[in-house]
Amino acid sequence: MALVDLKPVIPGRRVAEQSGEPGTITPGLRAMTFEGLSRGAAELNDLQEAFRRHHALQCGFCTAGILMSATQFLFEHAQPTEHEVREMLSGHICRCTGYHGIVEAILDTARRRAASEGRNTQGRAG
Protein backbone atom coordinates (compact mmCIF):
# COMPACT_ATOMS: atom_id res chain seq x y z
CA MET A 1 0.00 0.00 0.00
CA ALA A 2 1.04 3.56 -0.61
CA LEU A 3 -0.50 6.97 -0.06
CA VAL A 4 -1.09 9.19 -3.07
CA ASP A 5 -2.21 12.64 -1.97
CA LEU A 6 -2.84 11.06 1.47
CA LYS A 7 -5.29 8.49 0.06
CA PRO A 8 -4.45 4.78 0.41
CA VAL A 9 -3.91 3.05 -2.91
CA ILE A 10 -2.40 -0.09 -4.35
CA PRO A 11 0.57 1.53 -6.12
CA GLY A 12 0.62 -0.35 -9.43
CA ARG A 13 -3.11 -0.08 -9.88
CA ARG A 14 -3.28 3.66 -9.12
CA VAL A 15 -0.34 4.40 -11.38
CA ALA A 16 -2.01 2.65 -14.28
CA GLU A 17 -5.35 4.35 -13.65
CA GLN A 18 -3.84 7.82 -13.30
CA SER A 19 -1.40 7.92 -16.16
CA GLY A 20 -2.06 5.00 -18.44
CA GLU A 21 1.69 4.35 -18.49
CA PRO A 22 3.38 1.79 -16.23
CA GLY A 23 5.84 3.30 -13.76
CA THR A 24 4.58 6.89 -13.90
CA ILE A 25 2.32 9.02 -11.72
CA THR A 26 0.37 12.02 -12.87
CA PRO A 27 2.46 15.18 -12.28
CA GLY A 28 1.49 17.01 -9.12
CA LEU A 29 0.43 13.96 -7.13
CA ARG A 30 2.40 13.28 -3.95
CA ALA A 31 3.22 9.63 -3.38
CA MET A 32 4.46 8.13 -0.12
CA THR A 33 5.44 4.56 0.62
CA PHE A 34 6.20 2.86 3.91
CA GLU A 35 9.89 3.60 3.41
CA GLY A 36 9.09 7.32 3.19
CA LEU A 37 7.54 7.51 6.65
CA SER A 38 10.84 7.70 8.52
CA ARG A 39 13.13 10.70 8.57
CA GLY A 40 16.08 8.73 7.32
CA ALA A 41 17.51 5.29 7.85
CA ALA A 42 18.27 5.84 11.53
CA GLU A 43 15.30 7.97 12.65
CA LEU A 44 11.72 6.68 12.84
CA ASN A 45 8.75 9.04 12.69
CA ASP A 46 6.49 9.53 15.71
CA LEU A 47 3.98 6.84 14.68
CA GLN A 48 6.72 4.28 14.08
CA GLU A 49 8.25 5.15 17.47
CA ALA A 50 4.87 4.66 19.13
CA PHE A 51 4.54 1.25 17.48
CA ARG A 52 7.90 0.34 18.99
CA ARG A 53 7.03 1.77 22.42
CA HIS A 54 3.71 -0.09 22.59
CA HIS A 55 5.03 -3.38 21.20
CA ALA A 56 2.72 -3.11 18.19
CA LEU A 57 5.28 -4.85 15.98
CA GLN A 58 5.53 -8.60 15.79
CA CYS A 59 6.32 -10.49 12.60
CA GLY A 60 6.13 -7.35 10.44
CA PHE A 61 3.97 -8.80 7.67
CA CYS A 62 1.05 -6.41 8.23
CA THR A 63 3.03 -3.54 9.74
CA ALA A 64 3.65 -1.53 6.58
CA GLY A 65 -0.01 -1.51 5.57
CA ILE A 66 -1.22 -0.68 9.06
CA LEU A 67 1.28 2.16 9.41
CA MET A 68 0.23 3.60 6.05
CA SER A 69 -3.47 3.34 6.95
CA ALA A 70 -2.83 4.88 10.37
CA THR A 71 -0.87 7.75 8.77
CA GLN A 72 -3.80 8.58 6.50
CA PHE A 73 -6.32 8.01 9.33
CA LEU A 74 -4.54 10.40 11.72
CA PHE A 75 -4.41 13.03 8.98
CA GLU A 76 -8.21 12.89 8.76
CA HIS A 77 -8.91 12.15 12.46
CA ALA A 78 -6.46 14.14 14.56
CA GLN A 79 -8.14 13.17 17.86
CA PRO A 80 -9.70 9.74 17.30
CA THR A 81 -11.54 7.69 19.87
CA GLU A 82 -10.54 4.10 20.58
CA HIS A 83 -13.67 2.96 18.75
CA GLU A 84 -12.70 4.97 15.65
CA VAL A 85 -9.20 3.47 15.68
CA ARG A 86 -10.58 -0.05 16.03
CA GLU A 87 -13.04 0.60 13.20
CA MET A 88 -10.21 1.79 10.94
CA LEU A 89 -8.21 -1.33 11.79
CA SER A 90 -11.13 -3.64 11.02
CA GLY A 91 -9.94 -3.92 7.42
CA HIS A 92 -6.54 -5.27 8.47
CA ILE A 93 -5.63 -8.77 9.52
CA CYS A 94 -2.87 -9.21 12.07
CA ARG A 95 -2.46 -12.63 13.64
CA CYS A 96 0.39 -11.70 16.00
CA THR A 97 -0.54 -8.70 18.15
CA GLY A 98 -4.21 -8.91 19.04
CA TYR A 99 -4.41 -5.22 18.04
CA HIS A 100 -4.16 -3.82 21.58
CA GLY A 101 -0.62 -2.47 21.09
CA ILE A 102 -1.52 -1.11 17.66
CA VAL A 103 -4.55 0.75 19.03
CA GLU A 104 -2.52 2.14 21.92
CA ALA A 105 0.26 3.28 19.57
CA ILE A 106 -2.16 5.15 17.30
CA LEU A 107 -3.96 6.80 20.23
CA ASP A 108 -0.62 7.71 21.85
CA THR A 109 0.55 9.31 18.61
CA ALA A 110 -2.67 11.33 18.36
CA ARG A 111 -2.35 12.51 21.99
CA ARG A 112 1.30 13.48 21.60
CA ARG A 113 0.63 15.36 18.36
CA ALA A 114 -2.28 17.23 19.95
CA ALA A 115 -0.16 18.13 22.97
CA SER A 116 2.70 19.38 20.81
CA GLU A 117 0.24 21.53 18.83
CA GLY A 118 -1.44 22.81 21.99
CA ARG A 119 -4.81 21.15 21.26
CA ASN A 120 -7.11 19.96 24.04
CA THR A 121 -6.89 16.17 24.30
CA GLN A 122 -9.65 15.84 26.90
CA GLY A 123 -13.27 15.02 26.24
CA ARG A 124 -12.97 12.35 23.54
CA ALA A 125 -14.15 9.07 24.97
CA GLY A 126 -13.59 5.66 23.39
pLDDT digits (tens, 9 = 90+) for 68-78: 899 999 999 99
- DSSP, res 79: S
Q: How far apart are alpha carbons 119 and 17 in whole angstroms?
A: 39
pTM for this entry:
0.75
Contact 4, 14 (CB under 8 A): yes
Domain regions of the chain by residue span? 1-32, 38-126
Question: In the CATH scheme, what architecture does the domain 38-126 have?
Answer: Orthogonal Bundle (1.10)
CB count in 10 Å sphere of residue 116: 9
pLDDT < 50: residue spans in the chain: 14, 16, 19-24, 123
